[in-house]
Every structure is written in structure tokens, then in C-alpha cells.
A and B are shown apart, each in its own frame.
Chain A
Amino acid sequence: MSTSPIAFNRRAFIRTSSLASGGLLIGFNLFTACKPKVQPPVDISRLNFNDFNAFIKIADNGMVTIFSPNPEIGQGVKTAMPMLIAEELDVAWKNVYVQQGILDTENYTRQLAGGSQSIRLGWEPLRQTGATARQMLVNAAAAKWGVDPSECTTSEGVITNAKGETLGYGDVVKEAAALEVPENVTLMDPKNFKVIGTDAPNVDIDKIISGKPLFGLDYKVEGMVYASVLRPPAFGKVLDTYDDSKAKAMPGVLEVIRIGEKAKELSKEGIGNWTVAMGKSDKVVVIAKTTWEALKAKEALSATWVDDSTLESTQFQDEQLLGLLDGKEFQTLRKDGDIENAFFQADKILERTYESPFLPHNCMEPMNFFANITDEKIHLVGPVQTPEFAATAVAGMLGRDVNDVHLEMTRMGGGFGRRLYGDFVYEAAEIAHAIKKPVKLVFSREDDMTAGTYRPAIKYRIKAAIRNGQVTAYYLKEAAIGGNMYGLIPNFFPAGAIENYQVDVANYQSNITTGAWRAPYTNFLAFAEQSFFDELAETMEVDRIQLRLDLLDKVKGTTDERIEYSPERMQQVIKVAVDKSGWGKKGEGIFQGFAAYYCHNSHVAEVADVEIENGMPIVKKVTCVVDCGIVVNPLGAKNQIEGGVIDGVGHAMYGDFSFADGRPQSQNYDKYRLIRMGEIPEVEAHLIENGLAPTGLGEPTLPPAGAAVANALKAATGNRFTQQPFSKFPELMKVPTKAIIG
């Protein structure tokens, strides 16, 4: 047994209450708990159960309900987070019912899905909460029996004393609710875990397979109307005039309104200008009785637009970014040693430029949100990854108190970063405010793809110096649209491994809205870097795996506290991947490519196997080795790994999104290619077992996939891919005759 190292005052965030219906309710605030440094609310006495964003409810019959606080976007936290509580509460997982909690905006932070952090940050506090509840139930039973609590044990919801007498949790919940909250509870030894580490199916599986209402688009209330929004056809254009006479005459159309004033206020306050897609322009909204009538009538609107800023094309953006790579204006994020001198003294220099396009998120559930605004309440319901931010922004936009906001989160038909941005929530709120009716804003697929917050187009230039068989300098320059890599990234590999090391960044402020996309920046940087290390090994004529292992050796024992990754853990995933993939031992006709990458606190190595079929290289298999510490739910974890790898392969192969005169050139799936079943590799997943605290898993398997594939394609075709998507370069896919025969 170990006592939790995180010091906090549980009284500040755990409260108990008897339920009128019988049973015990334990309220706790996950996000105060997740951030030990966050101060508890100033006035504890006025807190009531509405102030907690997560609960455990234990009924008289012993059934346990756990309210999961974080938004579920398909990453599995609605299953895995309650598992942490159930483990320490010591209840059988099959007796646990999980329900989505609502947002509490008043006191707390980090009720969001992003950065693959929910499990890592919830690991200690969620278990603490379960353990606290368990101790209170034990204390209640001990008092009933007149024995010391230390003489009692628990197992799957049953408390047993030294004489062998038993009481169920349900038998003592009333008494437990009246007890003091214990200050020091002990957590279970990981050796004795019964729930953590077992396969738990998705808690919503029955609803998903039978088509029950679950998603934002499924939400309905009596008297609800539907809104479809006409936005500018191109980035850089703003609304001038519009004619709604045809639309208004169409069946089901209730009214047509112009919105934008409120969103502009939001931009002025600096809250929303980077989140409101096309936020500068007013928009025209059709309100109709049904979704179809709203979508169809929008098509019947005609509008005139004026140019507000440059109507950019992909070629124009490419020129800007290449100009930045060649230019002298940049910011240095990390500088070790003296790269100039090392390049001057080098025997050999390798320099490569890597280029990626914009990417839309393409969540299968298009953006949508419900809003109903009355004098009493701002009721918001739907899929958003950042409910707290959205609620605060809406309250600010409408000049209302944030306590008026009641925000319910629905299960999300994908997130991938798109639902971090609340533009669709603000639009829904502005519409509801104007029409004074409950309304559902629905994006068509075309709206969703053309009013995005895209993964920005980025170009990387990497340059390395080689002297006496050693890599003596590494220089990375990023030219990106919108913003630049976050500050931790320059401390990822190979920082610390190469004496002279520098990372510079420059950005071009486009009018195209950009944002986080699954594994922001690293989703493409990993491709650039791990492609580069393969070429570096070829240039140095050394083994490509050994080069990486040798560089990692140099980071061991580092005193540089900025270094984010663990060289030992990285070496381990590399070695296991080499072993499990049969690296170098596959027969002729199988071409392998390797990549390893650290991000979201996890270490990942991947090997792609390419085979030639009908003269074309085909990615047949990816072996993926992940060190994300203790795996809470292996069944869900492997699903994330398989999905992350295939997502990475798919976007590297096919993902392309271009602009002409500010207008997105793809508007729907007929002109935007996502990977489909016939194109997927087999994914073999391996998880490192090391008993260390859990780290991220929703994102980190994606970044290395593109590089593993590119390195395998090089082996198969002799051609090096430096631009994504690979499918844009069919001439590089041609396999030399020898390889086909081989």
C-alpha cells in the first residue's frame, strides 16, 4: 500500500450527502484534484452538489453510478476514467453504471478533451476519490459492528470483518454519508489491481450498436427549430448584401436572419478571433422546421461578398513558407552550442525540406450545437471538446453571467482537435439569442469542410553536420501558417543528443483559420525528422537503428531538465519494435521502414512493411510498440493504437487540401480522400509493461506512421518522399523492375 504523493485537502472538493431516494452521493471535483496547485473555491460553505463535476452514487442495493466528467470523442475516457475510481472503490466493474457528467464552469479547470492528458492527469486523483469513498464505507461498517476499521477488508462491494461477518456497500451508505471525510487514505498496490489492466468494452456499446440517441446531432427538444448558416465562399471575403426572397418562400422556412455582431464582439475581446472560422464576416442564417428544409433553403439564398483581405491560393502560401525558410526573420526556440561553427567544420552536410498541406479534421459527425436562451438560462447542448471555454465565451458574448450557462456534453462523433474550437457554439448561441427559440445549428458536410480550423500547412527544413562519423550539428527550421510549434517540442529528440542543436520558427499569418489537429505539429514533424534520420544514416553509411540508439545513449544521465523524453524508454520501444517486426529478417519482397517518436508523454516505435502488388508498393503491415505506462483498459488502448496508426498512414498517403482564390478546393468526400478499409495495413500492437504511471495514448501513435511508411517506400522504390500526401506523386511510386522480380 502506498499513500498518494499528491498533497491536497480533500475536504475542499469532496462532499457527501444522503440521497432522498436512499443511498450515498459523493461529489468531487476532478479538475481541482487533477491540478494540485489550483486553489479551492474561496467560500467553501456555499458549495453544494451543483458545484461538483463528478460524482459517485451508491444506491441501497449496492449499484454504483460514476459520472464521468470529461468529454468523450472516441478516445475512450468515458470508460477508462471511471475504471480508476471503481478500482479503488473496490467494486466489480460489471456493477458500475457510467453516465456523462455536465459542465461546471464556476470553479474549475480542464474539463476538456485534448493533448491526450485525461488519464495521465486523472491517475492519482480519481483513484484517491475511489479510495476515500471506500474508506468511508468501511468506517461506517466498522462503527456498526463496533470494531476498528483496520480489522475490515473489502472485496467487490462487500465489507468483511475479522469474524467473517459481511455488509454490502448498500447496507451502510446512509451511515457513511454522515461521516467525516477521511484525510489520509491509502491507494491499492498495483499488483492487486482487479479493474485497471482488464479489458473493458466501451460503456456506450449497446447504445451505439442499436442506434440510440447519443450524439449532439441526435439531441432534440419540443419546439426546436433548425438553423443552416451561409458563410463566405472563400477566406478573405465578407458578406455585403443578400437576397432571401426565394429561400423564404420555401417549405418549412420560418425566418432568415443576419448574424455576426456578437461574434465580432468576441473577436474584439481577443477570445475568439483565432477560433471563429471566418469570424470577420456576417453570416446569413436560415431557420426552418427541419434540417433538410434549412439546408435546402440555404442553397436558395443569394449573396454578394466583398474582398476583405488576400484571396490566397496554395501556390501563394507555398511561396510564403519557402520564403520564410530562406529568410532571416525567425524566432529561436532552443539553441545549444554553436551550429554555425559545426557546419563550417563539417565533413558532410545533409539538408532536406519537407512539405505538408492543410488538413481538415473531417469528424464524421459534422459540427452542430443546440442552444436555447431565456432570461433565466443559457442552455447549451452538444459536442465540444472545450465546454468550459465555450460557456465562458458565450456568456461574455451575450453579456451574461457564466452561472446562467447550463452546458451538457453529448458523445462526440469524432474530435481530432476540431471541437476544441467553439465557433459553432457561438454561432448557435447568437442565433438562439436572435430568434428566442430552442434551435439546433447544423453544419452540412460542405460547411464542415469549408469552415474549418485546419491543420496548418507547414514546411520544415532540417540540416545536419557530420564530422568524423558523428552527427555534430542539427538545425531545424519551421515555417508554418497561423502559429508555430508549442514550446515543449524543441526539447523532444534529438535535443540533448547532439551538441550543437538549434530550433528556429517563423510563421505566416494567413486569413485561413488553423488550429490543433490530432497530435498538433508532431503529426507532420515526426515524418520530417524520422525521414531525415533515415537519410542521415544512409549518408553516414551506418545502420539506421544503431544511429538512433547511439544518439539516445548520449542523452542518458542528462542534467538538462528541459529534456522531455526518456532515452531509456525510447531505446526500449525501438528494440522491442526491431524484435517484434522481424526487422532485417524478413525475406525478399518485404520492404521495411522504421520510425520512433516521443510525444504526449509516451514513447512509440513503428515498423512499416511494404510489399509489391501489381507493380505498386502496398503498406501491408505496421508493427507498433508503445510505452504509455500502465494501461488502464488494454481493449480500448489497442483500438486507439490501431486507429492512430491507420489515421497516420491514411493522411500521409492521401490527405490533401488546397485553396484557390481563398476557396477550399475540396468540399465533400467526393474530392477529399480518407483511407478506407481496402487500403489499411494490418496493425500489430505491443504495449510495454513497466508499472509506471499512465501517459497519453489518443495521439502519439499517429506521428511516426507517416515516416515509417516513407522509409519503407524508399526501400521498395528507391524514391524518397519529402512531401505529403504521397499519392500526389505517382511517379515516385513506380517500383524498379529489379524490386518486382526480387
Chain B
Amino acid sequence: MPKYNININGVSKSVEVAGDTPLLWVLRDHLDLVGTKYGCGIAQCGACTVHLDGNAVRSCSMPIASVAGQQITTIEGLSKNGDHPVQLAWKEVDVPQCGYCQAGQIMTASAFLDKNPNPTSDEIKTAMHGNICRCAAYTRIHNAVAIAADKMG
């Protein structure tokens, strides 16, 4: 089995897995980082979103071989104490219902706001359109992104 060196949340890790293993399952099954969720496996729902060199990507469709040597941030590493402005906004608005998709939503939102700190409402909608929330807590997700933008900007 090949060995891959990857940097997760600022820590270097080494894993021995098949090269086509998606990053999602390396995180969940090999590194015990289960905050990143499995939703569809085909990059359609966004539950597995992580940051790869600061960009939001779908970890379910990223073979481990393709991400070696890059900086990966997961929900567990977004902030030390769960106090990233996006996380705090999620708390302020009390976004979650079931909560399963929220890590992916937060990772999409935080990468988006890094690039566009002063988004319009429509820009938020476009940025978050790829993340499904089956409980349809979309109104609060939208409001939380707007509040986080205010705090960051």
C-alpha cells in the first residue's frame, strides 16, 4: 500500500492507503476526523467540504494521491475553540436542525468569505447553492453568512 504525507489542520500526517481513496474517507476512517461528512460521494451535496490550500473542495471526490503535499483544513481545524466568525455566526443564528450538513456549509461559507468579505445577498445564495440542507435551514444559513461577513469585514 503506498504511503502519503498530507498536512491536515497544520499537522503532518502519514497514511498508508490506496491512491484512489477519497480524502473524505482518509479523514473519517484513518485519521478519526469525523466532522467532515459523507452525503453523496459524487460532489453534489457539499456535506464533505474541506479547504484545500484555502479553497473549498469536495473531499469525497478528491483521491488522496491528488492532495499530497497540500494544506488541508477540516471543520476540526477551522478554529481552535470553535470561534471562527462563521462558527460564531452559526451559533448566534442557531442555524442547525439535524446538523449533519452544517460542517460542510460552514467550510463553504468560510472559504467564500475569505475571498469575498463583503458579499451581496445574491452572491451568498450563489456561493451556498452547492450545499444541500435537507432540513431546509437555508434561511438561517443565509443570515449566518451575512452576519459573519459583517463581523469579518
Q: Write the residues of chain A forming the contact surface with B, with a CB cutoff of 8 angstroms.
A: 72-76, 199, 201-202, 204-206, 208-215, 217-218, 220, 226, 251, 290-293, 295, 362-366, 411-416, 444-445, 635-636, 639-640, 642-644, 646-647, 650, 668-670, 674-678, 680, 682-683
- Taking A209-B87, A215-B100, A220-B32 as contacts, is the C-beta distance between A642 and B37 under 8 angstroms? no
Q: Quote the shortest CB–CB distance from B101 to chain A (angstroms).
A: 5
B40 touches A292 (CB 8 A): no
Q: Write the residues of chain B forming the contact surface with A, with a CB cutoff of 8 angstroms.
A: 1, 17-18, 21-22, 25, 28-30, 32-42, 44-45, 47, 74-76, 78-79, 82, 87, 90-91, 94, 96-103, 106, 124-126, 128-142
A218 touches B38 (CB 8 A): no
B132 touches A364 (CB 8 A): yes
Q: Quote the shortest CB–CB distance from A452 to chain B (angstroms).
A: 14
> Which 10 residue pairs are nearest across A and B when measured between Cβ atoms?
A211-B35, A74-B98, A413-B100, A211-B75, A646-B136, A669-B44, A74-B97, A292-B25, A208-B99, A210-B82
* Additional pairs, 16, CB under 8 Å, beyond known A204-B99, A295-B41, A364-B45: A201-B91, A202-B99, A211-B76, A291-B28, A292-B21, A364-B132, A411-B98, A413-B98, A444-B41, A642-B139, A643-B136, A643-B137, A647-B136, A674-B134, A677-B133, A677-B141
Alpha-carbon gap, A646 to B135, bound state (A): 9
- Taking A208-B99, A209-B90, A413-B98 as contacts, is the C-beta distance between A290 and B139 under 8 angstroms? no
- Taking A211-B75, A364-B39 as contacts, is the C-beta distance between A640 and B97 under 8 angstroms? yes
Point out the residues of chain B lying under 8 angstroms from A205, CB to CB: 90-91, 94, 96
Q: Quote the shortest CB–CB distance from A579 to chain B (angstroms).
A: 22
Alpha-carbon gap, A678 to B101, bound state (A): 17
Alpha-carbon gap, A682 to B100, bound state (A): 23
A677 touches B91 (CB 8 A): no
In the complex, 6 of the A-B residue pairs with CB atoms within 8 angstroms, ordered by the A residue number, are: A205-B91, A209-B102, A364-B132, A642-B137, A646-B136, A669-B45
Point out the residues of chain B lying under 8 angstroms from A670, CB to CB: 42, 44
Point out the residues of chain B lying under 8 angstroms from A217, CB to CB: 34, 37-38
User: Taking each of B1, B40, B98, B99, which has the highest tally of chain A beta carbons within 10 Å of its own beta carbon?
Assistant: B98
- Taking A201-B91, A209-B90, A677-B141 as contacts, is the C-beta distance between A639 and B97 under 8 angstroms? yes
Alpha-carbon gap, A646 to B140, bound state (A): 12
- Taking A210-B35, A214-B99, A291-B28 as contacts, is the C-beta distance between A683 and B139 under 8 angstroms? yes
Q: Quote the shortest CB–CB distance from B24 to chain A (angstroms).
A: 8
A676 touches B98 (CB 8 A): no
One of A202, A362, A366, A650 near B38 (C-beta < 8 A): A366
Point out the residues of chain A lying under 8 angstroms from B140, CB to CB: 639, 642
One of A72, A75, A363, A444 near B134 (C-beta < 8 A): A363
Point out the residues of chain A lying under 8 angstroms from B41, CB to CB: 295, 444-445, 668
B102 touches A682 (CB 8 A): no
Q: Quote the shortest CB–CB distance from A698 to chain B (angstroms).
A: 10
Point out the residues of chain A lying under 8 angstroms from B106, CB to CB: 209
One of A74, A211, A226 near B135 (C-beta < 8 A): A74
Alpha-carbon gap, A48 to B18, bound state (A): 51
Alpha-carbon gap, A650 to B137, bound state (A): 12
Alpha-carbon gap, A365 to B47, bound state (A): 9
B129 touches A678 (CB 8 A): yes
Alpha-carbon gap, A677 to B139, bound state (A): 8
Point out the residues of chain B lying under 8 angstroms from A363, CB to CB: 98, 100, 134
Q: Quote the shortest CB–CB distance from A295 to chain B (angstroms).
A: 8
Point out the residues of chain B lying under 8 angstroms from A206, CB to CB: 82, 91
Q: Quote the shortest CB–CB distance from A410 to chain B (angstroms).
A: 11
Q: Quote the shortest CB–CB distance from A245 to chain B (angstroms).
A: 19
Alpha-carbon gap, A414 to B99, bound state (A): 8
Point out the residues of chain A lying under 8 angstroms from B76, CB to CB: 210-211
Point out the residues of chain A lying under 8 angstroms from B44, CB to CB: 668-670
A676 touches B132 (CB 8 A): yes
B99 touches A74 (CB 8 A): yes
B132 touches A411 (CB 8 A): no
Alpha-carbon gap, A205 to B75, bound state (A): 14
User: Taking each of B1, B32, B101, B133, which has the highest tally of chain A beta carbons within 10 Å of its own beta carbon?
Assistant: B133
A292 touches B75 (CB 8 A): no
Point out the residues of chain B lying under 8 angstroms from A292, CB to CB: 21-22, 25, 29
Alpha-carbon gap, A607 to B21, bound state (A): 49
Q: Quote the shortest CB–CB distance from B139 to chain A (angstroms).
A: 5
- Taking A669-B44, A677-B129 as contacts, is the C-beta distance between A365 and B139 under 8 angstroms? no
- Taking A74-B99, A205-B91, A211-B36 as contacts, is the C-beta distance between A678 and B137 under 8 angstroms? no
